[in-house]
Structure 1
């Protein structure tokens, strides 16, 4: 009995010391406090500590989420000494969220960052965690309520759907804050969010519904109005068809069409560089690639009239049976960055099968149609459309920065323009008035979230973790650190610095300042690879 009391007392004293590292003599080290989080961190009955470990800089950290869709980059080289904490949090009797908190040894700025998810959202962004932890952020990322970039766990489980739509990001944010405050035994100074694609939609969801969680939100290529986004991807697939169909274009033929579009539109901005600076001004004549009498693709690399009609319809806005816009048109120049010709769109098909119809045998080929798209547009489970004004964000005094690549073949960039103007109209605010809390930056030559022919690297999620030698690239002027400067110094970004670089070598070939909408990038003359050769012009 006496031994048990002594053991309990020793454990209690260690727990108190771990929770209060600045008090007493011989307090536990960073490593010891990290290793004992399983004993010291018990925020509520819903939260379970799965892993608590010290991870030194230079560790080859293997992705523990072994779903095959999460293995595109199966390991991450850690860049700083840190404490890794993995938690599981119950969100309902049928759903739960797993999250990781990477807490750096050097946390002198006391910044907190939550990262978003991509696609169907069940993969943790470990590479981005490694980089942002090196930047000094206590970084949180989560599995969005299920494992894998798939909607299968949503089948007959509305709790998982609700996690995917909004609850996972809010749950992970709040649980992560508790963990960070407990571990460092000090308050978080500023809280940030950064995500792209589905993660961009998550950022807008936070900005619309719970902006109090973040001082600054960075949302790239947001997948809001997502039902119509998935409908237009289905429309593209049905439009292009399958190999053997008369209307079908192969990957090589889409490349040829991209080259023809560049031939007609690349020089509109004064520079021939593979980038259409303002795709919305590009109105190509697709018939220029049409075969003449006796000509074929094999003989003349040309398209049939039926194939040209496929292309023409691709670049038209998608309208419903009532004549109202469902989704903006495809971005000229994004053809080879698209999955338009890549087969049945898996995200759309899985969402409809598992989250909407609860029928794994639902058949895309026979059941998707414009009428189905009309039926789907009004379905908004748990507010997944994420299409509301930013009244709460403005009221709370928080900040939102959005950006969108203009060479995006996955989410048409017109959707971000459309949302910006919707916010302006519904809130009755001019661009100058919006500037105090909401700024949008189009990024010419950027593909979907990363890569592209232009100055695509803007220090964003899905970029920093995949670029070799990213530590050697200045972070000043990128989207995340521009948001930090806006929040902490009151200096709002007028431009975002973009770099054209090889992601495998980290070699930079050019630099450009991307302008805040509604201003536009303008070539001023001189070497187009230098940022001094570009400026911003008013609309």
Structure 2
């Protein structure tokens, strides 16, 4: 599990690289004095100086983060309820604080501290904080928080599934609240108090940055605690939590419906190449791209790869495999009334890389990776095929309401009323990879369109209209979305997947400069410093269109243009936005 950390759910790509800050020495009390700080429902476990330039991340094997400035590391446990045990860490730069506070998120079910986010934060001069979301007390990790055990499956073992069955947060409603919204809010409140005590002054501005579950945390903060942050960065947000996890169940059931439904090794690459051959260059990008710029323009039908004549898999698809891919694109559907519960994955997201946590990952596991959520509702019986409701027979018509009745209010960050956040001057930047094989990229578009609908007093797509779109303008005055061509879940993928989205957010909050584009880079082998190409990320609903001349590896040869009237796959209203 640990050696896969850079690719795990919610791992954030270089968000803090190049943050433009003005460092100034801070008046600080000694770090060790924080050990005796008295805060409500809080125990300060440790407060220690670190001037080594390195930090050893706990794990097996441990890893080392280098290049750190001297900082004060504070660890604390928060207990807002008798059943809560929320771990947080606050890292405080000593002498290089930029006067800003940064809350950070993690991925999946969390369960531990995301140290890379803390390190990135203090390297850029922020006082930074992170939390395990309170799920560590139940033995959870990012991928598993309730399961029937790894069942001896090598991939499940490699990714940290425990050997014995577990029920995660079943029977712990207060811990579910902590995971859903309370932990990240209290991390913020206590983190600010700790920073205030250390520096002897309040941060001038506060920011939050997270992807996946961190993106859910981000939107939950904007919705429920609009005064916590001045600027919020939400990547690939898992905001429609219950229905997203139902999509995970559906994806696993899809490939396990029969032995013939499995997509064989190498076939996802085969499908991806067929998608690119048909659609690349017709959606704004360059004809030489190895990714799609706007997959909604692609009408690829997996039937085109159906085996004919003497051809056999893996060089083509069987009828059963065609069905698997059709369902992959179609999304999670109520089999009785045909209502869409969660959007499908986009064309161009096909990958054989299990580290991308897509279909190739799910089909190799003995049960769905993220079905822990349903153990919280159904208990241990969810892991056994003989039970009425389990991971293999979950009924997407009858069982959905029970899950939503128990969890949706606490876990789903689906409110589109950001009025208080907007009124206090808050700014929101969202981003999502077009090739995300885990959280369908259409989800972020649907949420943004719903924000536009709020401004227009009814659903309106974020398109361009004669004379302009007033609702879109009002929404973009405080919230902007950037879609990332060819990026997987929060990082990786064949597209321009490394970019700094925090600096534009800071500039927007503090200087009033709203971002129109964000420069993104694809490094050779995804490893700096050798640059493969650059590309502008355009404010949605614009896309980067190749100008037709000059190198397609240079961002300057692309222009952001209006790209409206696209089909958006939307859930039924009861499951939306």
Task: Tell me the residue number matched to 2:76.
Answer: 87
SS in 2 for 1:195: strand
Match of 2:33 among 10, 14, 36: 36
SS in 1 for 2:397: helix
2:480 pairs with one of 408, 427, 439 = 439
Q: Hey, what does 1:351 align to over in structure 2?
A: 373
Output the CA distance in 1 between the equivalents of 2:340 and 2:228.
33
Number of the residue aligned with 2:187: 172
Superimposed CA distance per residue, residues 125-157 of structure 1 (whole angstroms, 9 cap, x where no aligned partner): 211211220110000011111223232441211
**Match for residue 54 of structure 1 among 44, 49, 53:** 49
| TM-aligned CA distance change 1:381 to 1:280, over 3 Å | closer
Unaligned 5+ segments in structure 2 are: 1-25, 147-167, 385-389, 457-469, 564-577
Which of 57, 63, 70 is the matching residue for 2:57?
A: 63
What is aligned with 2:218? 203
Equivalent position to 1:213, from 218, 225, 228: 228
The 1:504–1:538 alpha-carbon spacing in structure 2 relative to 1, beyond 3 Å, is closer
Secondary structure in structure 1 of the residue aligned to 2:182: helix
- When structure 1 is superposed on structure 2, of 513-522 and 503-512 the one drifting more is 503-512
Aligned ranges 1:14-25 → 2 under 5 Å: none
1:251 and 2:265 matched: yes
Alignment of 1:116-135 (within 5 A): 116-135=105-124
Alpha-carbon spacing, 1:63–1:249, altered in 2? closer, same or farther (3 Å): same
Measure the CA separation in 1 of the matches of 2:229 and 2:260: 51
Q: Distance in 2 between matches of 1:284 and 1:506?
A: 35
Deviates more, 1:149-158 or 1:221-230: 149-158
Q: Distance in 2 between matches of 1:404 and 1:263?
A: 23
Report the CA distance between 1:74 and its aligned residue: 3.5
User: Where do residues 277-292 of structure 1 align in structure 2 (5 Å cutoff)?
Assistant: 277-292=293-308
- Please say if 1:430 is aligned against 2:456: no
Residues in 2 aligned to 1:373 and 1:75: alpha-carbon distance in whole angstroms: 45
Equivalence map 1:293-372=2 (5 Å): 293-297=309-313, 301-320=315-334, 321-336=336-351, 337-342=356-361, 343=363, 344=365, 346-353=368-375, 355-359=376-380, 361-363=382-384, 364-372=390-398
Query: 1: distance between equivalents of 2:484 and 2:429?
Result: 13
Q: Give the Cα–Cα distance (whole angstroms) in 2 for the partners of residues 277 and 252 of structure 1.
A: 23
CA distance in structure 1 between the partners assigned to 2:171 and 2:483 by the alignment: 39
Deviation at 1:439, TM superposition (A): 0.5
Q: Which residue of 2 aligns with 1:493?
A: 515
8 A contact 1:405–1:447 mirrored in 2: yes
**Superposition RMSD in Å:** 2.1
Q: Report the 3-state secondary structure (helix = DSSP H, G, I; strand = E; otherwise coil) of the residue aligned with 2:30.
A: helix
Q: How many angstroms apart in 2 are the aligned matches of 1:270 and 1:194?
A: 31
Relative to structure 1, the CA distance from residue 346 to residue 56 in structure 2 (aligned partners, 3 Å threshold; closer, same or farther) is farther
Which moves more between the two structures, 87-96 or 363-372?
363-372
Alpha-carbon separation, structure 2, partners of 1:454 and 1:522: 15
Counterpart position of 1:537: 561
Structure 1's 379 and 160: CA in aligned 2 closer, same or farther, altered over 3 A?
closer
Contact kept in structure 2, 1:162 and 1:382, CA below 8 Å: no
Q: CA deviation at 1:378?
A: 5.0
Structure 1 position 412 matched with structure 2 position 440: yes
Secondary structure of 1:348's aligned partner: coil
CA 1:338/1:132 → structure 2, altered by over 3 Å: closer, same or farther? same
What's the CA shift for 1:305?
Answer: 1.8
Instruction: Pick the structure with more helix per residue.
Output: 1
Q: Structure 1: how far apart are the matches of 2:286 and 2:453?
A: 33
The whole-number CA distance in structure 2 between the counterparts of 1:296 and 1:217 is 50
Partners in 2 of 1:54 and 1:250 — Cα distance? 52
Answer yes or no: is 1:508 the counterpart of 2:531.
yes
Whether 2:558 is the aligned partner of 1:517: answer: no
Tell me the CA shift for residue 295 of structure 1.
Answer: 2.5
Which stretch shows the higher mean deviation, 289-298 or 327-336?
A: 289-298
- Scaled by the length of structure 2, the TM-score of the pair is 0.79
Residues 241 and 408, structure 2, Cα contact 8 Å, conserved in 1: no
C-alpha distance 371-362 of structure 1, shift in aligned 2 (>3 A): farther
CA drift at 1:506: 3.8
Distance change (3 Å), C-alpha of 1:129 and 1:434: same
Q: Tell me what 1:528 maps to.
A: 552
Change (3 A) 1:455 1:197: same
Kept in 2, the 8 Å contact 1:205–1:386? The answer is yes
User: Quick one: distance in 1 between partners of 2:339 and 2:425?
Assistant: 34
Aligned to 2:152: none
Based on CA coordinates, which of the two structures has the bigger radius of gyration? 1
Q: Does 1:392 align with 2:420?
A: yes
**Is the 1:231–1:348 contact (alpha carbons within 8 Å) kept by the matching residues of 2?**
no
